[in-house]
Chain A
Amino acid sequence: MSNSWSGLNAKQKSGITAALEALTALDTLSQAIASGPPAPRIAFRDLLAWTKGPAVNLPIAYKQALLANPTLRRDFDRLLAKTAEWRCERAAAASSGLLDTRDGSGFRVRLKPSRAAQGQVYLLIEFTGDVPVAPPRSLAVTCADGDCVRLELPEFRDGSAQLLSDENAEVVRLLRDPKTEIFLW
């Protein structure tokens, strides 16, 4: 150099200001990333992986994250809506009791107690219009309070599939709840 401060012209001084801003911001971020708050435990990619992974109830940590973070909840709803090819929205406000039948766009879900096995219930998924060439393999039921269950569906025959579940299973509870939404893909 030796560039003395008073020897710098106005252009250089203004450039120094902008460059210093960016450099110090980058330094500050680097320091904070190395020692700052941990990254969010549940991120979009985790929710995406859950929609594609083995069917299970939504883990507790995911439910807590969805309850605590409305933005994540919004993104999860959008992800399910985008992933699903068929959807059943919340039942009308008048439907305050528990439901045995849910009517979605082009399909119906019925809950039918098993006569043979006490405490068991059949979940019947039926297409009410055209039977799709590639029927869905997954069913998810979501509730605004963060609950969510996903099931792998058995093969469809003549536009319908059925599976047996425990009467007290979470999926049964959620399907009966008029405030839940159902997604098929």
Chain B
Amino acid sequence: MSADHYILEAEKSSELIAALRLLAETEDGGQPRFPPEACRAVAKAVVCRNYASALHEVCHLVRAASIFRGGYIEFFWAAGPVRSSRFRGVFGTAPPTALFRVTSEGITLVYRDKPFSVSFGRMAFLAAMMEFLITAIGFAPLDDIFTPLAQPAATNAADVSAQANTLSRALYDWLKDHLPPLQAQRKLWALVEFLKARGGGNFDREAIDDQAILDFWCDAATAEEIDDFRTFTSVFLAFGRLRQVIDNADSLRSLDQAAPIGTSREDGEVDPHEIESFIDAVADDVNPLDALADAPASRIKFLNAKEREVCRFLFECGRMADLLPLSFVRSEVFGAAQSRITHGLRVGAKGSLLAELIDGSCSTDYRGYQGTLAEVKRHGRTVLLASAHIMHTAGIIERPKVIPLRPENAFAPSMASTEADAFLEQARRAAKGISRQGFHPTDLDDDEVREGYVVGVPLVAKVTDRIEAFLEKLARHPLPGGDWEAQFGQDRPVFTACFKAIYGDVT
């Protein structure tokens, strides 16, 4: 099997990835146009194929927008970050209309047959969904669907439902080409059969360990028949998710069909809404990095792009990283190396160049990775100290009030005056060393920056606490190789041999 084949496989979903990436990266006024959680919700709805109700809401919102100048285009694409508060403001100043009523929670569209409500809280997500639809399906076909929704063409909620169903079919058709079936059953059975074979016919969650993951990858990565497990990271994530899902298996009793996710119960498809609810239960809390990237916290550069990237995977993996710390670190170090190799293939590396790329693909080792993570933690602590100084100077916090900074809970009422003075001096020095956006005294003249500190500081504390706890876990984690240096020494030839087996046949 050629390396080109692997590249083609990886690029099957490139349009879907590009559309979701555009959603996440679009900025407006120096801020993310859409809240990160809305972007993730769109990705989740698409992957779970649980978009039908959202598309219904989009269509009703398009109808409501028809009363505004410029119709739904101006409504959805007006300049400025898209937040629920914006829609509350837009509808709050809407001209009188028989089309909808504005309530404290949202709008209720009036139809002959039955009313339909859309809450303000959903509107940022719906706008993000609209942006995704435009990128994916295109404006012209969407406009064909939306134009009849403008008054007075649609007078019954059923008319809007009919257009929403057309929209659902259009997205379904697009996803057929861009969200290839993931062969989940085949994937799962590959994992299950492997674990059963190791466990004498049965296994439990404990059998999903670091050695099992590495052994599976070494076999599967070079197997002709399985394309799903080419990267170590994909194997780590698959086993990690399997372990999480088995842990939560009791809550899956309501699902009684071994079938793909979809909306057709007649075809035996699993209800996408139930799957999405299950994912919400399994998945971790809101990623603090996402919240830091959103306003108002984003007005202050607590962490720069490089620092966020260093700990991005840790927060995406959540509890999986704690369940399988060695595999997580392997994924960070050798997964990145594998990405560099595939990138090299994409730009035409072959022969001796490819061999050199494989041999030198690791940019760091396990200790180096932990050191980089520790640097981000140290920076986070400094930022917290500096923030304490800035917030205190700006009158946002008053000693001896408690503020959520750790270990800088220095404003506790029990703190002695001399301790507080010493802490504030330490904080002042930390602030002096930071010249990033939001840390200049005049930045605090802006109310949103002040609000950014109130929202952002607990998030930075959460990030640094999490990194610290994870680094401590790594320090205590028993390793088959003895310590992290020795473990890297053992692992490197294993990964290099596998990379050569996967990519080395390119001539």
- Once A19-B278, A22-B47, A79-B139 are accepted as A-B contacts, the answer to whether A33 and B188 lie under 8 Å apart by CB is no
**Choice from A19, A27, A29 contacting B245 with Cβ under 8 Å:** A19
Q: Provide the residues of chain A in CB contact with B192, threshold 8 Å.
A: 5
Is A44 a contact of B275 with CB atoms below 8 Å?
no
Q: Provide the residues of chain B in CB contact with A25, threshold 8 Å.
A: 47, 179, 182
Interface string of B19-31 (1 = CB under 8 A from A): 1111011100000
Q: Provide the residues of chain B in CB contact with A157, threshold 8 Å.
A: none
Is A20 a contact of B238 with CB atoms below 8 Å?
yes
Which B152-205 residues have C-beta < 8 A from chain A? Answer: 179, 182, 184-185, 187-188, 192, 195-196, 201-205
Which chain B residue shows the least CB distance to A44?
B134
**Choice from B10, B16, B247 contacting A1 with Cβ under 8 Å:** B247
Interface string of B229-254 (1 = CB under 8 A from A): 00001100110011011110110111
* Bound-state Cα–Cα, A45 to B233, Å: 34
> B260 interface residue, CB < 8 Å from A?
yes
- Once A8-B249, A14-B255, A22-B276 are accepted as A-B contacts, the answer to whether A38 and B21 lie under 8 Å apart by CB is yes
Is A40 a contact of B135 with CB atoms below 8 Å?
yes
Is B252 a contact of A20 with CB atoms below 8 Å?
no
Is A40 a contact of B140 with CB atoms below 8 Å?
no
> A26 interface residue, CB < 8 Å from B?
yes
> A106 interface residue, CB < 8 Å from B?
no
Is B316 a contact of A30 with CB atoms below 8 Å?
yes
> A39 interface residue, CB < 8 Å from B?
yes
* Bound-state Cα–Cα, A16 to B19, Å: 28
> B437 interface residue, CB < 8 Å from A?
no
Q: How far is the CB of A23 from chain B (nearest CB, A)?
A: 4
Q: Provide the residues of chain A in CB contact with B143, threshold 8 Å.
A: 78, 82
- Once A14-B255, A25-B179 are accepted as A-B contacts, the answer to whether A3 and B13 lie under 8 Å apart by CB is no
> A21 interface residue, CB < 8 Å from B?
yes
Q: Provide the residues of chain A in CB contact with B278, threshold 8 Å.
A: 15, 19
> B279 interface residue, CB < 8 Å from A?
yes
Is B202 a contact of A20 with CB atoms below 8 Å?
no
Is B140 a contact of A74 with CB atoms below 8 Å?
yes
Q: How far is the CB of A169 from chain B (nearest CB, A)?
A: 29
Is A33 a contact of B20 with CB atoms below 8 Å?
yes
> A163 interface residue, CB < 8 Å from B?
no
**Choice from B77, B253, B258, B279 contacting A19 with Cβ under 8 Å:** B279
Q: How far is the CB of A135 from chain B (nearest CB, A)?
A: 17
Which A1-55 residues have C-beta < 8 A from chain B? Answer: 1-6, 8-40, 43-45, 48
Is A32 a contact of B13 with CB atoms below 8 Å?
yes
Which chain A residue shows the least CB distance to B46?
A29
**Choice from B188, B204, B282 contacting A4 with Cβ under 8 Å:** B204
Q: How far is the CB of B359 from chain A (nearest CB, A)?
A: 22
Majority SS at the chain A contact face: helix
Q: How far is the CB of B79 from chain A (nearest CB, A)?
A: 8
Q: How far is the CB of B307 from chain A (nearest CB, A)?
A: 15
> B54 interface residue, CB < 8 Å from A?
no
Q: Provide the residues of chain B in CB contact with A29, threshold 8 Å.
A: 13, 16-17, 20, 43, 47
Q: Provide the residues of chain A in CB contact with B249, threshold 8 Å.
A: 3, 8, 12, 15-16
Q: Provide the residues of chain B in CB contact with A3, threshold 8 Å.
A: 204-205, 246-247, 249-250
Interface string of B269-284 (1 = CB under 8 A from A): 0100001101100110
Is B261 a contact of A21 with CB atoms below 8 Å?
yes
Q: Provide the residues of chain B in CB contact with A45, threshold 8 Å.
A: 26, 77, 131, 134
Q: How far is the CB of A27 from chain B (nearest CB, A)?
A: 4
Which A109-123 residues have C-beta < 8 A from chain B? Answer: none
Q: How far is the CB of B400 from chain A (nearest CB, A)?
A: 42
> B353 interface residue, CB < 8 Å from A?
no
Which chain A residue shows the least CB distance to B241?
A23
Q: Provide the residues of chain B in CB contact with A22, threshold 8 Å.
A: 44, 47-48, 261, 275-276, 279
Q: How far is the CB of A5 from chain B (nearest CB, A)?
A: 5
Q: Provide the residues of chain B in CB contact with A30, threshold 8 Å.
A: 43, 316
> A75 interface residue, CB < 8 Å from B?
yes
**Choice from B139, B179, B195, B241 contacting A44 with Cβ under 8 Å:** B139
> B264 interface residue, CB < 8 Å from A?
no
* Bound-state Cα–Cα, A23 to B31, Å: 28
Q: Provide the residues of chain B in CB contact with A77, threshold 8 Å.
A: 140
> A71 interface residue, CB < 8 Å from B?
yes
Is A5 a contact of B140 with CB atoms below 8 Å?
no
Is B203 a contact of A4 with CB atoms below 8 Å?
yes
* Bound-state Cα–Cα, A43 to B136, Å: 11
Residue of A8, A16, A23, A48 ringed by the most chain B CB atoms within 10 A: A23
For the complex of A and B, 4 pairs with smallest distance between CB atoms: A15-B252, A21-B184, A15-B255, A14-B258
Q: List 10 A-B contacts (CB under 8 A).
A: A4-B202, A5-B195, A11-B256, A15-B253, A17-B188, A17-B258, A20-B245, A21-B261, A27-B241, A29-B17
Binding site for B on A (CB under 8 A): 1-6, 8-40, 43-45, 48, 71-72, 74-75, 77-79, 82
Known contacts A1-B246, A4-B202, A29-B13; 18 additional CB pairs below 8 A are A1-B204, A5-B195, A15-B270, A18-B275, A20-B238, A22-B47, A22-B279, A24-B234, A24-B237, A25-B179, A29-B17, A29-B47, A36-B21, A39-B19, A39-B25, A40-B22, A44-B135, A71-B138
Binding site for A on B (CB under 8 A): 10-11, 13-14, 16-22, 24-26, 43-44, 47-48, 73, 77, 131, 134-135, 138-140, 143, 179, 182, 184-185, 187-188, 192, 195-196, 201-206, 233-234, 237-238, 241-242, 244-247, 249-250, 252-261, 270, 275-276, 278-279, 282-283, 312, 316, 339
